[in-house]
Amino acid sequence: MDTTPGASSCSAGKSPISGVQDPNMQISRTPGLKEYSVADLKIATNNFSPDSLLGEGSFGRVYKGWIYEKTLAPSSKRGTGMAVAIKILNPDGPQGFDEWQSEVNFLGRHYHPNLIGLLGYCWEAEMLVVVYEFMQEGSLDKHLFRCVGAIKPLSWDIRLKIAIGAARGLAFLHTLEKKVIHRDLKTSIMYLDENYNVKLSGFGLAMRGPCDEESHINTTRIMGTFGYAAPDYVATGNIYLNSDVYSFGVVLLELLTGLRSVDAMRPIGKQNLVEWLKPKLCQKKKLRTIMDVCMKGQYTTTAAFQAAELTQKCLDSIPENRPSMKEVVELLKEIEAMEEETNNSKV
């Protein structure tokens, strides 16, 4: 798991997906979801050995641990069994009991290939822990912005694959019988396995979406991450399913450019990526000036321009004008098929 997820800077209105939060509320009992003790976690991580520490941030610490695949019981031998990511929340951090409970209850009840797999949790002695499947390649932001040395730039084909997978995960949330809005989509909560399949995490802020007869929900406080949250949501508190689509558009723009959504180190006027580059997305002649130079020669102009047009649609200032995530999936698949056909014709 990523060790430095972006902090939420913008805070909740309507109750999250697990319902009204109550410290006395029990976690939903789900077959296959294991309840761990602190003693179990110490076994799995060799007593939280420094060698097991994957990273830490304001949210807490993440350790690599080992469990037996069939029983999910902790393994005392490193390298024996199945690797897992054990996230221990900082009691003074931005993620509290409500967010922890919301994520455990949601991921414990829902499965999709593009959602992170939750294997278990621990709620003991004021310690809040989640145990996830281990994602070999870590978080997308580390690769996209190459935060760690020796990380190779992501290819155009891999970026398309990641975009499609993330879009499928969001489309799943938006088409559940009881629709769900993620509310905090960003590259730091998107994780990659060894084959660069992407999975979404960070469901602590997720909430029920509007009913079919409603277009939006009015919230009393704003939650999300600056640079990703839809401006209309930040301004009014009205949240739509398509508020997630805007955030996805920001991620798409980061995939195209290789630049962060917000970077105070950039010159004035260029610090906010959307404000800076959104006007250029529909200008075909300027497209190559904004595409990540690491992908030079890997994409066709037609496919890249279609991806840029889709990005601009997702970033539309009017929520109703944004495409649904189901439509986004189909459009991205068309772009991928176009590139595959071009590559096959070269063979």
Which residues fall within 8 angstroms of residue 345, CB to CB, at 6 or more apart?
none
Q: Which residue has the tokens 């999975």?
A: 199
Which residues fall within 8 angstroms of residue 346, CB to CB, at 6 or more apart?
none
Spatial distance between the Cα atoms of 104 and 35, rounded to a whole number of angstroms: 11
Q: Are 338 and 302 in contact (CB under 8 A)?
A: yes
The one-letter amino acid at 22: D
Calculate the alpha carbon distances from 264 to 139, 249, 267, 269 in Å: 22, 20, 8, 10
Q: Are 285 and 324 in contact (CB under 8 A)?
A: no
User: Which H, E and C letters describe 234-253, residue by residue?
Assistant: HHHCEECHHHHHHHHHHHHH
Spatial distance between the Cα atoms of 273 and 161, rounded to a whole number of angstroms: 22
Spatial distance between the Cα atoms of 105 and 214, rounded to a whole number of angstroms: 25
Catalytic residue check, 157 = no
Calculate the alpha carbon distances from 229 to 180, 220, 261, 316, 347 in Å: 16, 15, 11, 13, 43
Spatial distance between the Cα atoms of 143 and 152, rounded to a whole number of angstroms: 7
Of 40, 98, 184, 244, the active-site residue reads 184
Helix count and strand count (H, E) for the chain = 10, 13
Q: Are 194 and 136 in contact (CB under 8 A)?
A: yes
Spatial distance between the Cα atoms of 288 and 305, rounded to a whole number of angstroms: 9
Strands (E), the chain: 34-35, 53-57, 60-67, 82-89, 118-124, 127-133, 138-139, 180-181, 190-192, 198-200, 207-208, 217-218, 238-239
Does 87 carry a binding-site annotation?
Answer: yes
Return the SS3 of 23: coil
Spatial distance between the Cα atoms of 276 and 325, rounded to a whole number of angstroms: 24
User: Annotated binding residues for ATP, as ranges?
Assistant: 87
Catalytic residues: 184
